[in-house]
Structure 1
Amino acid sequence: MGLKIGVVGLGRIGAFHVGTLSALDAVDELSVTDVVPVAIDSVTGRYPDARGCADADAVLASGVDGLVIASATATHAALIEQSVAAGIPVFCEKPIAMSSGESAAVVDRCGGSGVPVAIGYNRRFDPAVSAARAAVVSGELGFITTARSTTLDPAPPPMSYIAGSGGIFRDCAVHDFDTLRWVVGGDVVEVYATGANQGDPGFTAHDDVDSATVILTFASGAMGVVSATRYNGRGYDCRLEVHGSTDSVVAGWDPGTPVRNLDPGCAFPDGSPHGFFMDRFAQAYRRELGEFCDLVGGAASSSLCTMNDALAVALIADAATVSLHEKRPVRIDEIAESPSAG
């Protein structure tokens, strides 16, 4: 018998996950729900192995072996805790909650339960990013001097989404923060962030920026550089560079990298530019959900993001937000100890 997986939230990423899960050999049946009934009908109409449920309670009561949470961020914490209380392993799209303080409370309540909880940071499962981590872990790069992670979206999401996103650091750059922590290894101790708005004035109205740069200082002395924007008209650009004392590696330089190379006689990259994250990381999503299904089946996981890892990323995002607004470097321990982090 294969697995029965529940999916709560059938928006863009949730519906995409249903398609990915439906294609996995390990999955036999899906129980799905959304607050918008037409979204349920749309998904069950496309995937015969998906059965619609009235709500999350009905999904959990349907006998699922694992739960995938892809609903609005404000619902994540309660759904994680509900699933853990029922003894059902959880895969939750990032973040755990809207702030590091809320995330820490969830970790405290669920961390000792023994029920597996994974948070969705899919770039860990990109083959080139995985290879970059392996190169660091093996020592072949020597000590790491600088690692750079880039996320350039082709166009901003609707302002209705931005209003509840938590800002560019909590919504977008968190993927870069997790990638750098995972690849470089060790903890970030200090954050400095800056940003600007040149596009939709709605970003300013929501106390957000449309472009940002963040400098991360690791305990080892390595530095991380994160670049993010909502406006990259050529396409979806996501790259990683890791520079070491003896060697350097890159990930994300493929024929679809959305840049024009102006070096004479060099045509690379010469493919169609990546349009968005779901085509750029389709393979990574398959590998990530496949490993979650293995985890549900009792296997150990070496790459899935844990709640503690996700909490560390949330602290970085909160530190970057404070740094942007106060125009100063912010230490992670300052955020972790602050009551306002909640």
Structure 2
Amino acid sequence: MKQTRIAVIGGGAIGRTHAVAIRDCPGTELAAIVDPFEAGAALAGELEALHLTELDALFDTRIDGAVIATPNALHVPQATMLIEAGIPVLVEKPLGENAAACRALVSLSEHTGVPGLVGHHRRHNPIIRAAKCAIEDGRFGALVSGTISATLHKADSYFDVAWRREKGSGGPVLINLIHEIDLVRHLFGEIGEVFAMASNDRRGFEVEDTAVILLRLSGGGMVTVALTDAGVGPWCWDTTAGENLARFPAMPAVSHMFAGTRAGMSLPDLSFWTHDGPADWTVPQVNRPLEIVPMDSYVKQIRHFAAVIAGEERPRITLADGAANIAVIEAIRTSVAQRRPVAPDLTGQDAERQTMVE
């Protein structure tokens, strides 16, 4: 069987995760690691892959696709170079630093016919797929309210990398909240309005370390998000879902709670609460957890990328989805600055979800 050769641009922590997933995914081969630093060279050596220091050198190598796992500011420029060269891309989240640049990348992909995906890997996780199924088949009902906690205390050394402290590329709103925005849009549809407050009191950087965000869904329902990279607590997807145990622990807590008109659901434990009788707060509820078969979401994501490269599937998380997520982030930033509700500007964006049957 012909192997799909995929290169990884960026040899940091998330680049390693993608490179290992390529190695572990049947039918794919790690073609190269592109990174100018020693960490990239060490990763290439460990995984017995070609090491390149410049992106241009990749064009002299036979590859079928590339994963971009570099600092946020490089995502759009590098994706542009690769798409112009006819190479399909999987771009780590966030797709870019601003919606305008992301929209330009969407247009380039549409014009050239070269596909692009965004690395919101949670959509490939069986936990999220089970939750989505419960919503789509009507068991959950319509969203009424939701509460999301993203409490992820980051060590001081994390911020030794300058861009993580700088406006435009750093801060938990762009780096971490982007996952929650994509998840809410995936499960419940478009976000029509946001209201947010943020603070940098704990770390004192240019960027925020704490934020509280209210999301009003276009189709009805509201979700609140409490976000911090300076507070201690287990209530975060990364530290409870167990999907990347090489980097994060899996603690027995929940990070997401959603109330529907027919059921209540929490993640990642997939508790699914319904009344044992009439739907009344005085009547006991029964938890019948949703069932899944555990799978590696990063390997699933690479398998899907290979299928897109082969023309067998359409992108599940499109570049347009990535651009829409950034538009919501920009609305949140505007809301923080102007202290008012803001409607995301989704003008000219087709963020249709395109889920393929496997």
Q: TM-score, normalised by structure 1?
A: 0.82
Residues 1:62 and 2:61 aligned together? yes
- 1:94/1:121 contact within 8 Å kept: yes
Per the alignment, in what secondary structure is the counterpart of residue 7 of structure 2?
strand
Q: Which residue of 1 aligns with 2:267?
A: 251
Per the alignment, in what secondary structure is the counterpart of residue 153 of structure 2?
coil
CA distance in 1, matches of 2:106, 2:317: 13
Displacement of 1:322 in angstroms is: 0.9
CA distance in 2, matches of 1:214, 1:316: 11
Q: Residue deviations 1:282-307, cap 9 Å, x none?
A: 922222222212222222147x3111
Root mean square deviation of aligned Cα? 2.3
CA distance in 1, matches of 2:295, 2:149: 18
Residues 1:196 and 2:212 aligned together? no
Displacement of 1:123 in angstroms is: 1.5
- 1:32/1:52 contact within 8 Å kept: yes
Identity of aligned residues (%): 24
Residues 1:240 and 2:239 aligned together? no
- 1:240/1:250 contact within 8 Å kept: yes
CA distance in 2, matches of 1:51, 1:293: 20
Moved more, 64-73 or 124-133: 124-133
- 1:10/1:40 contact within 8 Å kept: yes
Q: Which residue of 2 aligns with 1:44?
A: 44
For structure 1, the 5+ residue unaligned runs are: 255-280, 338-342
CA distance in 2, matches of 1:242, 1:77: 34
Per the alignment, in what secondary structure is the counterpart of residue 101 of structure 1?
helix
Structure 1 runs of 4+ off > 6 angstroms? none
- 1:147/1:184 contact within 8 Å kept: no
Per the alignment, in what secondary structure is the counterpart of residue 324 of structure 2?
helix
Q: Which residue of 1 aligns with 2:26?
A: 25
Q: What is the one-letter code of the residue matched to 1:60?
A: F
Distance change >3 Å, CA 17–CA 332, structure 1 → 2: same
Distance change >3 Å, CA 3–CA 245, structure 1 → 2: same
Q: What is the one-letter code of the residue matched to 1:114?
A: G
Q: What is the one-letter code of the residue matched to 2:209?
A: D
Q: What is the one-letter code of the residue matched to 2:99?
A: S
Q: Which residue of 2 aligns with 1:262?
A: none
Q: What is the one-letter code of the residue matched to 2:192?
A: V
Q: Which residue of 2 aligns with 1:174?
A: 178
Q: Residue deviations 1:110-143, cap 9 Å, x none?
A: 2232221001111212221221111111122121
Moved more, 191-200 or 7-16: 191-200
CA distance in 2, matches of 1:253, 1:129: 11
Per the alignment, in what secondary structure is the counterpart of residue 111 of structure 1?
helix
Q: What is the one-letter code of the residue matched to 2:16?
A: A
Pairing partner for 1:292 from 297, 300, 305: 305
Pairing partner for 2:317 from 299, 305, 312: 305
Residues 1:219 and 2:222 aligned together? no
Q: Residue deviations 1:182-224, cap 9 Å, x none?
A: 0112x1111101123442222xxx1x22111111111112212
Pairing partner for 2:334 from 291, 316, 322: 322
CA distance in 2, matches of 1:105, 1:167: 24
Per the alignment, in what secondary structure is the counterpart of residue 114 of structure 2?
coil
CA distance in 1, matches of 2:231, 2:7: 35
Displacement of 1:330 in angstroms is: 0.7
CA distance in 2, matches of 1:148, 1:219: 17
CA distance in 2, matches of 1:147, 1:296: 36
CA distance in 1, matches of 2:76, 2:266: 35
Per the alignment, in what secondary structure is the counterpart of residue 181 of structure 2?
helix
Q: Which residue of 2 aligns with 1:274?
A: none
Displacement of 1:152 in angstroms is: 1.6
Q: Which residue of 2 aligns with 1:16?
A: 17
CA distance in 2, matches of 1:180, 1:148: 11
For structure 2, the 5+ residue unaligned runs are: 238-254, 271-293, 349-358
Distance change >3 Å, CA 230–CA 105, structure 1 → 2: same
